[in-house]
Amino acid sequence: MSLVFPFDPNIERASTIPARVYNDPVFLELERERIFARTWQLAGRTDDLREHGQFITVQIENDPIVVLRDGETLRGFYNVCLHRAGPVAQGCGKRNTLQCRYHGWTYSLDGTLRRAPEMQGVQRFDPESMHLVPVQVATWGPLVFVNVDGKAPPLADVLEDLPTRLASFHCESMRYVMRKEWEIACNWKIYVDNYLEGYHVPVVHPGLHKELDYDNYVVEPRRYFSIQHAPLRPIEGGSGDRKYDPSATEAPEAVYAWLFPNMMLNVYLGQMQTNVVLPLGHDRCRVVFEWYAEHPPADAATDPSWTKLLAFSDEIQDEDIEICEIVQRNLRSRVYDRGRYSAARENGVHHFHSLLHEFLT
């Protein structure tokens, strides 16, 4: 089976990428090496790294990572002890050193090995010259990202003008509210494909379709991300069962940003939501939503505006999950290999596939 697959940069001529890219586990291995190990991945929240010694741990595909605050500096390391690969940190918390929980080798917060018990007599063993392997760390707003590729472009370069574009939403002053996650029986790319177009909204999301001005739905692909936005549909006659009131605020339009390969950032006035799509296998993924707000509710589970918002979010998510799982099953059919793109509606999907092609082949 070929790991190389065709891709046409001209969407009007292009066919979609072959079904085997979704179905064959070999592509997931390739994606782990060539995509997930080379791109910025969401690791946690700045709120958990405010004080000297605070740390968080995160698994980025095959790589366990620890991120910590050392004075003014955020540092990231592979959470893999230099001795026999024990963990130097677990969960999250606050410590002055990192101590491996296997045989107790101890590292300072800058990653230097400080203490290795009972290693007397071992030749060519110099703790002072031994360091945990570092990874890149960067923040945007309340979010912490890591990149295990030391040669990858800085996060700020990847985000281009996205922070400026989102400046009026004040994301940096938003605080964590809650998290929800789903295990979905589809390849991670099916969920991402589905996120990247509004083409399915009229058929899959009748409720959402009532809210959005579909004719003015725009997708803007950039180098490593894309932005989607759509104005709210004006209310004609009574507001009926509408969820959003377009006349209620002078709100800037909501922005739905996707960052290659697996993260979405949905920003609204006063709140935002991150979605991360994590492969669990070639035909399964976990999707994690985290909500942030400028004025977090005392309890999102009972706050009326949050229960309404979460119910609508669940409705849309359930609709997306159902279609993504059916598509995963159908991609295994012997009659399907490649389809075509709507040039008017699927430029975001085509852009994602162009990056897949660039990184994988």
In the numeric block, which tokens belong to residue 90? Answer: 């677990």
- 58-66, 81-89, 163-171, 253-261 -> range binding ligand FES (CB under 6 A): 81-89
Cβ neighbours for 242, distance < 8 A, ≥ 6 positions apart: 210, 211, 235
**Does residue 242 touch ligand FES according to CB under 6 A?**
no
Q: How many residues does the chain have?
A: 361
Does the footprint of ligand FES cover residue 293 (CB under 6 A)?
no
Provide the minimum distance between the beta carbon of 6 and ligand FES in the complex, in angstroms, as a whole number.
46
Does the footprint of ligand FES cover residue 132 (CB under 6 A)?
Answer: no
Token digits of residue 294: 């400028």
Could you tell me the smallest distance in angstroms from the CB atom of residue 92 to ligand FES? 19
Total number of residues binding Fe ion (CB under 5 A)? 1
For residue 198, which phi and psi values (nearest 5 degrees)? -95, 0
Question: Which of Fe ion, ligand FES, none lies near 175, with the C-beta cut-off 5 to 8 A by kind?
Answer: none
Which partner in Fe ion, ligand FES, none is near 320 (CB below 5 to 8 A by kind)?
Fe ion
Residue numbers 86-105 binding ligand FES by CB under 6 A: 86, 100, 102-105
CA dihedral 251, 255, 342, 14 (to 10 degrees): 150
Segment 98-106 long-range contacts (CB within 8 Å, at least 24 positions apart): 98/55, 98/66, 98/68, 98/132, 105/81
Concatenate the DSSP letters of all residues of 189-253 into one string.
Answer: HHHHHHHT-STTHHHH-HHHHHHB-GGG-EEEE-SSEEEEE-PBPPP-SS-TT-S--TTS--PPP
Instruction: Please report whether residue 170 would count as binding ligand FES according to CB under 6 A.
Output: no
Nearer to ligand FES, 74 or 133 (CB): 133
Taking the complex as a whole, the smallest distance from the CB of residue 101 to ligand FES amounts, in Å, to 8
The answer to whether the beta carbons of residues 284 and 186 sit under 8 Å apart is: yes
Give the integer Cα–Cα distance in Å for 236 and 197. Answer: 26
Check binding of 332 to ligand FES (CB under 6 A).
no
C-beta closer to Fe ion: residue 193 or 320? 320
Binding of residue 346 to Fe ion (CB under 5 A): no
Out of 320, 348, 351, 360, the only residue in the binding site for Fe ion (CB under 5 A) is 320
Query: By CB under 6 A, is residue 131 in contact with ligand FES?
Result: no
- In whole angstroms, the minimum distance from the beta carbon of 198 to Fe ion comes to 8
CB 269 within 8 A of CB 252: yes
Decide if residue 199 touches ligand FES (CB under 6 A): no
Burial of 16 from C-beta contacts in 10 A (0-12 / 13-18 / 19+): middle
The window from 80-88, 183-191, 208-216, 248-256 that contacts ligand FES (CB under 6 A) reads: 80-88
Q: Residue 282 in 3-state DSSP?
A: coil
From the list Fe ion, ligand FES, none, partner contacted by residue 283 (C-beta under 5 to 8 A by kind): none
CB of 79 to ligand FES, least distance (A): 11
**Footprint of ligand FES (CB under 6 A):** 81, 83-86, 100, 102-105
